[in-house]
Amino acid sequence: MIIKIVGIGLDGKKSLTDSVLEIINQATVLIGGDRHLKYFSNHRAKKKVINNLETVINGIKKYQKKGENIVILATGDPLFFGIGRILLNNFLWEELEFYPHSSCVQLAFNKLKIPWQDAKFISLHGREIDLLIKELKKSYEKLAILTDKENNPLVIWQIYQQLKSSINYDFWLCENLGSQEEKITKIEKEDSINLNLISLLNMVVLVRKEINNFTLDLEKLPLIGLCDKLFKTFPDQEGLITKKEVRLMILGALALQEKQIIWDIGAGTGSVSIEIARLINSSKIYAIEKTTMGVTLIKENCQRFQVNNIQVIHDYAEKIINNLPNPHRIFIGGNGGNLTNLLEIIKTKINDEGKIVIALATIENLNEALQWLKKNNWHYEITNLQISKSLAIGKNTRLNPLNPVNIITANPLISREK
């Protein structure tokens, strides 16, 4: 006997077509949550509440052997973060038939009148909050979040705010979608989220918004250590920026002085160049970036922070640096897989008291750099940064780690003395 899985909306029987109601009417066994079964309290079928899934699966198999006509009631689309996946793992494909209703995500985006073919969906039901942190860092245009009692809208709001993303979202709280109690609220401050008043049947939708005419109050900015969210970043890779804490380490390692020539190779968004330019106006910084998007971002960020001692160069570093003035300091934030070749050119350009600072995320790049430095008898020092930042989740505080980074500070003085 084929097992039929029927999706139901929050308005119960009203959400079902006549043909689907007939399928339910013919059932001899109805299985579902308390809320689902209450819609059919007068149905003559045996009823089994879904509590323990393993017990339910075993019960379904017993009913199946007896030839019972089994109908399983589920919320929305059973194959969208629903019971459908579990059933497919326990029964043959041909033993199951699905009759979906609109999913909560489908209802949410339609109520918001927002196309959703490019949306990202995540379910936090019974999952660690790390999943949300990871996905928020990916800068999606639209993010639909299924919640649970622990990973609730207030926790999601707090994490979104504390990550201090440069990406801004409209935060929509959607409750009881598809029912008479349906409610959709745009959240703009934490006080708007009262867990005692929010329905347990809720989800959150984040929709990216563009902020036009963004301006900074430059007088209120710190001398160094600019907040990451102040920089315009790659739209699809918001995390691709040298983080503030790492920038501070780099600035210290460079041992900057007045009136220096500084190369920033693989400048990305220009965050390191801009920190240097603001700190020492008498120095000249050459921000070298190979990507068109990166060059555009550097120029926009230079305009945003009103710095004029940065020259942005759109090219591969190994092709262009022979045409640049010899540097006093070099920062390598990206090497395009050509670190050894790059260092070979750099060693002919840097002066005796110059310094190179290299930020490396992988062991392979660190090993490549060390081999070259040892072979050329350069003096070097390695600092491994493993930074965690506090993150409040509900009433608790945890430490959220940033990606580890290796910082190499090197200079050629020893090798040239020999």
Cα–Cα distances in Å, from 351 out to 262, 309, 329, 411? 12, 21, 9, 9
pLDDT class of 418 with cuts at 50, 70, 90: very low
Distance CA 223, CA 308 (A): 16
Mean pLDDT (the chain) is 91
- Strand-pair category, 261-265 with 284-289: parallel
Matching residue, tokens 């390692």: 253
Q: Under 8 Å CB-to-CB from 128, ≥6 apart: which residues?
A: none
Q: Is the pLDDT assigned to residue 356 strictly greater than 80?
A: yes
pLDDT of the residue at 336: 77
Q: Say yes or no: 397 and 300 in one domain.
A: yes
Q: Say yes or no: 265 and 387 in one domain.
A: yes
Q: Say yes or no: 375 and 260 in one domain.
A: yes
Q: Say yes or no: 90 and 229 in one domain.
A: no
Q: Under 8 Å CB-to-CB from 160, ≥6 apart: which residues?
A: 136, 169, 171, 206
CATH of the domain at 24: 3.40.1010.10
pLDDT of the residue at 183: 94
pLDDT class of 20 with cuts at 50, 70, 90: very high
pTM (whole model) above 0.95: no
pLDDT of the residue at 386: 94
Question: Mean of the pLDDT values across residues 363-371?
Answer: 95
Q: Say yes or no: 303 and 245 in one domain.
A: yes
Q: Say yes or no: 275 and 298 in one domain.
A: yes
pLDDT of the residue at 212: 62
Give the residue from 42, 71, 102 where a domain finishes.
102
Distance CA 289, CA 271 (A): 12
Q: Say yes or no: 78 and 197 in one domain.
A: no
CATH of the domain at 141: 3.30.950.10
CATH of the domain at 234: 3.40.50.150
Q: Is the pLDDT assigned to residue 154 strictly greater than 70?
A: yes
What percent of the chain shows pLDDT beyond 70?
Answer: 96
Distance CA 358, CA 380 (A): 11
Question: Mean of the pLDDT values across residues 18-23?
Answer: 94
Question: Mean of the pLDDT values across residues 121-130?
Answer: 90
Q: Is the dihedral of CA 330, 334, 340, 345 positive or negative?
A: negative
Q: Say yes or no: 292 and 376 in one domain.
A: yes
Helix (H) or strand (E) holding 120: strand 120-123
Q: Say yes or no: 66 and 120 in one domain.
A: no
Q: Count the domains in the chain.
A: 3
pLDDT of the residue at 349: 92
Task: Give tens-digit pLDDT for 131-141.
Answer: 998 898 887 88
Q: Is the pLDDT assigned to residue 415 strictly greater than 70?
A: no
Give the residue from 151, 179, 209 where a domain finishes.
209
Q: Say yes or no: 229 and 256 in one domain.
A: yes
Question: Mean of the pLDDT values across residues 389-396?
Answer: 82
Task: Give tens-digit pLDDT for 29-68.
Answer: 999 999 999 999 999 999 999 988 889 899 999 999 999 9
Domain with 33 in it: 3-102
Yes or no: say if 205 and 142 are a contact pair by the CB < 8 Å rule: yes
Q: Is the pLDDT assigned to residue 417 strictly greater than 50?
A: no
Q: Is the pLDDT assigned to residue 311 strictly greater than 80?
A: yes
- Strand-pair category, 310-314 with 284-289: parallel
Q: Identify the weakest region by mean pLDDT among 165-169, 278-282, 309-313.
A: 165-169
Task: Give tens-digit pLDDT for 215-267.
Answer: 788 889 999 999 988 998 887 666 678 999 999 999 999 999 999 999 999 99
The residue count of the chain comes to: 418
Q: Angle of helix 271-279 relative to helix 244-254, nearest 10 degrees? A: 50
